[in-house]
Amino acid sequence: MTINKQDFTRAKIHKIVSPGEALKMLRELQGLTQNKLAKITGISQSNLSAIESGSKQLGRERAMVLAKALRVHPAVLLFSDFDMADAA
């Protein structure tokens, strides 16, 4: 079976999410509570809550720690709204 690029349709963005919203979705999809993720990462539950709500910035270092715990690339958290069509 041969797979051709033209057999696929590019997915549409239905909603742009913030890094905090992306973190919350990934955490929930993996069945983790904020407390459990806090224990895994060493980032306090209150900081995770603040990041998810948007009242605290995610930042590169925390993104790397969280991405490792959630088994995703850090860019998934930091650049959740990136669209290659917008790149120069």
Residue 3 lies in a domain: no
pTM listed for this prediction: 0.77
Residue 34 lies in a domain: yes
Residue 87 lies in a domain: no
pLDDT of residue 13: 64
Q: Is 76 exposed, middle or buried (0-12, 13-18, 19+ CB in 10 A)?
A: middle
Residue 61 lies in a domain: yes
Which amino acid would we find at residue 7?
D
DSSP structure string for 70-83: HTS-HHHHHTTT--
Residue 35 lies in a domain: yes
Please tell me the total number of residues recorded for the chain in this structure.
88
| Number of domains making up the chain | 1
Residue 24 lies in a domain: yes
At residue 28, what are phi and psi to the nearest 5 degrees? -65, -40
Residue 74 lies in a domain: yes
Q: What pLDDT, in 10s, does the model give residues 39-77?
A: 999 999 999 999 999 999 999 999 999 999 999 999 999
Range of the domain at 23: 16-81
CATH of the domain at 71: 1.10.260.40
